[in-house]
């Protein structure tokens, strides 16, 4: 069986964790001999870090490009996109010679790859939100459906949708998809708001939870695990503030992390490591370690000696293992949180999108979530201390909630198999 997994950004270790979990889920459902072909935004670089996997470039990125021609450039690019979709239509309507005449060798190779797939799965994530351009994703969905291949969207946090063009195009795509898996009920509501027939939509768990280790989650741990507290902090840049100025928002966020770090060192003698899922890959567009360096530079010298900024790349499984060393994690990146939880390490979350709030509400830990737009240094530092005191109870709650998330994530494979057989 051949399964294409599309819309992947493997250089983000959070996305890589989704992919690894997704492949485990699909192998359990369809058998261990599934052939996976992964369509990634930077396949040559991804192959360097994950040489065991088969990568191809997103079809959208492989289209022929036009030079900048003033006002004509956008029109030509739109024409370019439409003729690739027209070529896909011709392929499924017995006009293969026209398809071959229209497409470049790379485009034709990708089309034949898609057309020969038994299943196309758009990877899980948060890429169907209007903070980002949706053009590339919509193109890929349309390309898949024009080739008459079953299309499934794995666990998404999506919407809300306000752009009229996106609403129209996505409604048709979602109605034609064989299956839509969602990470939260808020996303299901966003589908209903654009009049999608949600009969083929199900709320499940993030695919990365398939990597969870029940024995690590259920094993009692002292606090601290070592002679002193060890805390990992995941930080990131964020520019999509909705209600406050972005510069002011980032200033408050960095100051909150700085004050909490200083408190942890001075009050608890803690060892702090800035560590995240987006670091150590120079070819990726962002590096969270840079934000960690900015926060660390805000600290007094007496504190700085207890703080390190980790710059190392780790694939998902290695990062999960590494996170077992910490007493807890302050996580801004959601998949930093999921990998820590999967390792049995408690998480104090900072939410920059609704997905984190939804996840921790489901885990019965919603009261610990801090909204990045509302975070205040003093209040956050107090929350850190309260969290430390509550870790024994939090671990008991997590032992139930995270294992439930893992079971639900793995069950998505059976749902996918049933949808394919219908």
Q: pLDDT value at position 81?
A: 76
pLDDT tens digits for 304-354? 999 999 999 999 999 999 999 999 999 999 999 999 999 999 999 999 999
Confidence of residue 69 (pLDDT cuts 50, 70, 90): very low
By the 10 Å C-beta count (0-12 exposed, 13-18 middle, 19+ buried), 220 is classed as: exposed
pLDDT band at 72 (very low <50, low <70, confident <90, very high): very low
pLDDT at 71: 53
For 329, the 3-state DSSP assignment is strand
Task: Write the pLDDT tens digit of every residue in 38-54.
Answer: 999 999 999 999 999 99
Of 26, 51, 46, nearest to 36 by C-alpha is: 26
User: Is 71 exposed, middle or buried, given 0-12, 13-18 or 19+ CB atoms closer than 10 A?
Assistant: exposed
Note the Cα 328 to chain centre separation in Å: 21
Percent pLDDT > 90 in the chain is 92
Domain 212-405 is in which class? alpha beta
Q: Kindly tell me if the per-residue pLDDT of 70 is higher than 80.
A: no
- CATH of the domain spanning 2-204, picked from 2.60.40, 1.10.1740, 3.30.300, 3.40.50: 3.40.50
Where in the chain do CATH 3.40.50.2000 domains reside? 212-405
205-221 mean pLDDT = 96
Q: 422: part of which helix (H) or strand (E)?
A: none
Location of structure tokens 């610990």: 368
CA gap 407, 28 in Å, rounded: 12
CB-count burial class (<10 Å; 0-12, 13-18, 19+) for 153? buried
Task: Give the residue with greater pLDDT, 422 vs 410.
Answer: 410
């Amino acid at each position: 069986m051949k399964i294409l997994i599309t819309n992947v950004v493997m250089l983000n270790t959070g996305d890589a964790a989704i992919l690894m979990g997704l492949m485990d889920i699909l192998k359990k459902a369809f058998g261990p001999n599934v052939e996976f072909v992964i369509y990634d935004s930077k396949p040559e670089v991804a192959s360097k870090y994950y040489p065991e996997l088969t990568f191809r470039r997103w079809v959208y990125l492989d289209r022929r490009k036009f030079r900048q021609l003033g006002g004509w450039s956008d029109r030509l690019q739109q024409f370019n996109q439409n003729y690739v979709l027209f070529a896909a239509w011709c392929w499924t309507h017995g006009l293969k010679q026209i398809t071959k005449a229209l497409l470049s060798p790379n485009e034709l190779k990708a089309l034949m790859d898609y057309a020969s797939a038994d299943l196309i799965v758009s990877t899980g994530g948060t890429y169907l939100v209007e903070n980002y351009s949706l053009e590339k994703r919509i193109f890929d969905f349309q390309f898949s459906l024009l080739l008459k291949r079953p299309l499934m969207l794995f666990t998404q946090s999506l919407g809300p949708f306000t752009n009229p063009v996106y609403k129209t195009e996505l409604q048709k795509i979602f109605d034609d998809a064989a299956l839509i898996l969602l990470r939260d009920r808020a996303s299901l509501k966003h589908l209903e708001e654009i009049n999608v027939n949600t009969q083929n939509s199900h709320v499940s768990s993030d695919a990365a939870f398939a990597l969870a280790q029940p024995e690590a989650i259920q094993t009692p741990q002292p606090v601290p695990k070592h002679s002193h507290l060890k805390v990992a902090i995941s930080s990131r840049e964020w520019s999509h503030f909705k209600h406050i100025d972005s510069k002011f928002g980032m200033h408050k966020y960095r100051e909150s992390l700085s004050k909490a770090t200083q408190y942890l060192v001075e009050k608890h003698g803690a060892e702090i490591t800035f560590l995240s899922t987006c670091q150590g890959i120079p070819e990726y567009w962002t590096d969270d370690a840079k934000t960690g360096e900015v926060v660390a530079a805000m600290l007094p010298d007496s504190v700085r000696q207890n703080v390190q900024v980790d710059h190392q790349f780790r694939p998902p499984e290695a990062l999960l293992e590494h996170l077992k060393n910490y007493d807890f994690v302050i996580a801004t990146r959601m998949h930093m949180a999921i990998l820590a939880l999967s390792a049995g390490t408690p998480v104090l979350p900072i939410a920059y999108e609704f997905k984190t709030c939804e996840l921790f509400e489901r885990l019965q830990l919603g009261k610990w979530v801090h909204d990045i737009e509302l975070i205040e240094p003093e209040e956050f530092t107090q929350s850190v201390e309260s969290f430390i005191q509550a870790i024994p109870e939090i671990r008991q709650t997590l032992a139930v909630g995270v294992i439930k998330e893992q079971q639900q994530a793995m069950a998505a494979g059976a749902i996918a198999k049933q949808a394919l057989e219908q």
